[in-house]
Amino acid sequence: MAMFIRVDIDPAIQQDTALVKRLAEVCPVDIFKVTDGNIETVESNLDECTLCDLCTQAAPGKVNVVKLYR
């Protein structure tokens, strides 16, 4: 389980194959992976997130990176 962030993905993204592919491509630390055409997070990579916001820019309002610390 990630200690620093949680990534919330709107389930509606699963219907957009181009966006699913784009999310997996934009993340520099491989937080996302495509399995059977669906996007999911790679739990073991979540703590590698650099908070670059490339995923939130690629899918505005559909991906949210939540900081679990203050």
Instruction: Collapse the DSSP code of 41 into the 3-class scheme (helix H, G, I; strand E, B; otherwise coil) and give the result.
Output: strand
Q: What is the pLDDT of residue 61?
A: 95
Q: pTM for the full model?
A: 0.87
Residues contacting residue 33 through CB under 8 Å, at least 6 positions apart: 24, 39, 40, 41, 42
The DSSP code for 17 is: H
Given a cut of 70, is residue 2 above it in pLDDT?
Answer: no
What is the spatial distance between Cα 58 and Cα 56, in angstroms, rounded to a whole number? 5
Domains of the chain in start order, with CATH, are: 5-67 (3.30.70.20)
39 beta partners: 34
For the stretch 16-58, pLDDT in tens is 999 999 999 999 999 999 999 999 999 999 999 999 999 999 9
- Res 65: pLDDT: 96
